[in-house]
Structure 1
Amino acid sequence: MDRIQFGRRVAHWRGRRRLSQQEFASLMQRSLRWVEDLEGGRRQADPNLSVVTEIAARLNVTVDRLLYEPAVLCPADTEIEAVRAVLQRHDIITGRTDADAEPVSVAALRRALVYARTGFQAGHFAQLGTQIPALLADATRAAEHHRGEDQQEACRLLSLSLELTEAAAIKWGDTELAVVAGHRAVAAAERSEDPVIMASAARHLADAMTSHGQAKAAVAFATAAAERLRPELLRRGSLGLSVLGMLFLKAALAQAAVAEADDHSPDAAARAVPVFLDEADEYAAQLGVDGNELWTSFGATNCGLYRVAAHVQLCAGADAVAVAKEIPAAGLEALPRERRAHLLTDRARAETQAGMREEAVATLLEAEALAPEEVLCRPRTKALVEDLRLLGAGSAEGRLRSLAERCGLPR
């Protein structure tokens, strides 16, 4: 039994049943630490069948679904709708919450955000559907009712929570939801009066705009934010360099999308892509290390990942494969699972473009082993699996067929 995947399935169904870890521990007559270790895949030994059966009974799910069904790794439509609903609430939009409700402490809010963001970077996107609504409600209340430095920090955390909402919506394939969250994140960032948070929110909104077919606007927005905030960001050390570099990486991908959609002068539009990538490389060189300030994963290695993605966007698959091969293994290993799996799916797309379809299947399977949700749940990756089915994958047909079934694609 894969303890990590089993633990994630337990966490998924516990969340679906609206049980806290403490409540589930009480039902199982175990300690909270036991549940945390189980869901985190940190148990010393696999649970025996009687324990698995009891867990399934407590969560009202069959043992087979608890052990084997990959679809439980993906968010339910109801969970995505719950995120949309909270963004449409009057109190969340206006920031005018119940005056009698005690706001959560800034420290508790920060812990909840770190927990959710860490899960995202580990490739656990489905659980965010149950975490984000409470996070946004708590952050909105805190930003209204705290005062002084605590209020500014609450505004920062609200912006970062909305950024997480945008990032999750991209993974779920809901680009309209991503744009809404991205706009709100920028507004909250302005309230925080923190240039680092402003730049971070801007790079997320640029990403949402690009995904939503507004690539030209995304380039303009990202570069305007970079020019406006650059002086202050350069004074903020590694944190400032990281978000500034990410703005140019997002501008590069947006510009690649502009070029790909340009029927008149795509080559001219494409020439700006390496300019933005080179700018990001300069900030990575100044940084000197592969870091993860403010969950950016920014550094020379991530710049390499974006070069691969830009080549893929420009349908230059062979060039993307060549760049991917040059990325140092040590740098890759240091990146979060989400980043590594994202690279693998980009590489699989590049291999498909280059006619290397058997290799593309192998690369997708490697990505699935690393971060299953990046492959089994993301609409963009599932579309690639469907393309490979239509194109044919030679000796990899059997493995591709099994992968398509795990993705829930119709036969």
Structure 2
Amino acid sequence: MPTPENGHTGKRIAQQRKLARLTQRELADRIPYSYSWLTQVECGARPASVDFIAAVARALRVDVTVLTGQPYVTQLQEDRLAELIRPIRESLDLYDLGDDPEVTTRPASELTAATEALCAQVRATHLHTAATALPDVITELTALCWRAPTTDLWRALASAYRTAHDVTVKLGYFDLASVALDRLGWAAERASDSRLAAIRQYFRGLVYFREGEYTIGLRLIRSGHAFLDAADASREALTVAGQLHLGGSVLAARAEDASAAAAHISSAREYAGRVGDASRVHWLNFGPVNVALHEMSVAMEMRHYDEALRQAKAIKLPAGIATSRRAHYFIDRARMEMELGYTEASLKSLWTAHRTAPEQTRYHPGARETVRGLVHLSRRTPQMLGVGVHVNVALARFS
């Protein structure tokens, strides 16, 4: 069963609402959800979807993590992941301290290869392995960049900062992830690499996607495009531009701007048609399949669950797709199926996500809320009592 710190998102929403001295009616008037929806979430009768949480966080002017209970510290301690956060934090603080003569570094070529390996490990969802190796890579690259800076070394350091962002986001340390993005911008500027600067804006946009500030997020996406040279038709530049459009599509969907979301998807599809499978270009997973996955996400974020599920069923994930992306697909599919009342199918999708990427799925707030929604459905509907046993087993695994 859930630990007390992770117990009930709806209860935390109620607590923060009361601290803000708002009634349920008053809070409901400030979010794009009904009073009935809010009351059901607060009492635990309905799961708090990620878009609902973002809307409430924005209305209450609190961080999303206050409502979700992230990071899930007890779970992280049990999985021996919490102990890896402090070394990452410390390595991110070395950026402006100059050279440390006590640091012995590996050859530059070896460290550059190590940054590529870290990206691959994150996409394979080997979070413990990546988090363990990351601080030394950052520390050594920082020292080398101060001793004998080159463009390639600054790019490698930027890649390591990107991995720090990816790992800390997946584990729920969003403030630390923002620090990593600041460091990415610092390294990208020294590398004079406009594509890395654009990638940073993409990830900054996703910060505001989580926090419910979609206007700022879309401005960051536009800023990312501005970093790119319009005359640059290289595969790398087109991939980054396409990924920016995918970020814009889900931000526009959350902002309930269907035409803007469709325009972003259309542009991304055009770029994907030109570059093909560019999943390893900056490890952005960009390509035709990822465009299809984002089109599905757009429908889901606009709460068109029937259409989203239809699209999900039509997507054929290639064998070589990143493990992290495969698991994300099944987490999203489980949410759609749960919202439509397909409890057994939703549970099956969650188990598939968990088998595919256990660490990623356990720490994904959407997966956890979907499990709680399934628990409620299994208890409320007599014919689902048999399924309820399996759902409660799932809850124990996710909590």
Q: Shift of the alpha carbon at 1:82? A: 3.1
2:152 is matched with 153
Equivalence map 1:90-169=2 (5 Å): 91-92=94-95, 94-99=96-101, 101-147=103-149, 151-169=150-168
Matched length: 320
Residues 1:346 and 2:340 are matched in the alignment: no
Residues 1:84 and 2:89 are matched in the alignment: yes
**Cα contact 1:206–1:219 (8 A) shared by 2:** yes
**Cα contact 2:218–2:248 (8 A) shared by 1:** yes
Deviations 1:303-332 (A, max 9, x none): 111122222222222221111112134xx3
Match of 2:236 among 233, 236, 239: 239
The 3 A distance-change label for structure 1 pair 109 and 310 is: same
Q: With structure 2 as the length reference, what TM-score do the two structures score? A: 0.74
Deviations 1:141-177 (A, max 9, x none): 2222123xxx211111111111111111221122222
The 3 A distance-change label for structure 1 pair 74 and 229 is: farther
Report the secondary structure of 2:154's partner residue: helix
Rounded Cα–Cα distance in structure 2 between residues aligned with 1:191 and 1:232: 22
The 3 A distance-change label for structure 1 pair 146 and 333 is: same
Match of 2:354 among 334, 350, 368: 368
Rounded Cα–Cα distance in structure 1 between residues aligned with 2:288 and 2:199: 18
The 3 A distance-change label for structure 1 pair 153 and 85 is: same
Q: Shift of the alpha carbon at 1:405? A: 1.2
Q: Shift of the alpha carbon at 1:99? A: 4.3
The letter for the 1-side match of 2:239 is S
Residues 1:333 and 2:332 are matched in the alignment: no
Q: Shift of the alpha carbon at 1:74? A: 4.2
My pick for the range that moved more, 333-342 or 282-291, is 282-291
**Cα contact 1:95–1:141 (8 A) shared by 2:** no
Root-mean-square deviation over aligned CA pairs: 2.3
The 3 A distance-change label for structure 1 pair 233 and 246 is: farther
**Cα contact 2:278–2:287 (8 A) shared by 1:** yes
Rounded Cα–Cα distance in structure 1 between residues aligned with 2:106 and 2:232: 30
The 3 A distance-change label for structure 1 pair 82 and 289 is: closer
2:197 is matched with 198
**Cα contact 1:321–1:351 (8 A) shared by 2:** yes
**Cα contact 1:162–1:182 (8 A) shared by 2:** yes
**Cα contact 1:95–1:140 (8 A) shared by 2:** no
Over the matched positions of the two proteins, sequence identity in percent amounts to 22
**Cα contact 1:316–1:353 (8 A) shared by 2:** no
1:296 is matched with 284
Q: Shift of the alpha carbon at 1:102? A: 4.7
Deviations 1:20-70 (A, max 9, x none): xxxxxxxxxxxxxxxxxxxxxxxxxxxxxxxxxxxxxxxxxxxxxxxxxx9
The 3 A distance-change label for structure 1 pair 290 and 187 is: closer
The 3 A distance-change label for structure 1 pair 320 and 245 is: same
Deviations 1:122-154 (A, max 9, x none): 11223333222222212222222123xxx2111
**Cα contact 1:233–1:244 (8 A) shared by 2:** no
Q: Shift of the alpha carbon at 1:384? A: 2.1
Gaps of 5+ in 2: 1-74
Q: Shift of the alpha carbon at 1:290? A: 5.3
Q: Shift of the alpha carbon at 1:355? A: 2.1
Q: With structure 1 as the length reference, what TM-score do the two structures score? A: 0.72
Equivalence map 1:5-404=2 (5 Å): 74=79, 76-87=81-92, 89=93, 91-92=94-95, 94-99=96-101, 101-147=103-149, 151-231=150-230, 233-234=232-233, 236=234, 238-257=235-254, 259=255, 266=256, 269-289=257-277, 291-329=279-317, 332-392=318-378, 394=384, 395-404=386-395
The letter for the 2-side match of 1:288 is G
**Cα contact 2:198–2:227 (8 A) shared by 1:** no
The letter for the 2-side match of 1:369 is R
Higher relative contact order (CA 8 A, sep 6+): 2
Report the secondary structure of 1:293's partner residue: coil
Q: Shift of the alpha carbon at 1:335? A: 0.7
The 3 A distance-change label for structure 1 pair 74 and 253 is: farther
Report the secondary structure of 1:345's partner residue: helix
The 3 A distance-change label for structure 1 pair 164 and 398 is: same
Deviations 1:89-138 (A, max 9, x none): 3x33x152314645442211112212221111111223333222222212
The letter for the 2-side match of 1:121 is R
**Cα contact 1:251–1:276 (8 A) shared by 2:** yes
The 3 A distance-change label for structure 1 pair 117 and 152 is: same
Rounded Cα–Cα distance in structure 2 between residues aligned with 1:97 and 1:380: 42
Rounded Cα–Cα distance in structure 2 between residues aligned with 1:73 and 1:245: 39
My pick for the range that moved more, 352-361 or 294-303, is 352-361
Residues 1:406 and 2:394 are matched in the alignment: no
Q: Shift of the alpha carbon at 1:232? A: 5.1
Rounded Cα–Cα distance in structure 2 between residues aligned with 1:132 and 1:73: 21
Deviations 1:208-254 (A, max 9, x none): 332244432221112221133042542x2x22221111111112222
The letter for the 2-side match of 1:228 is F
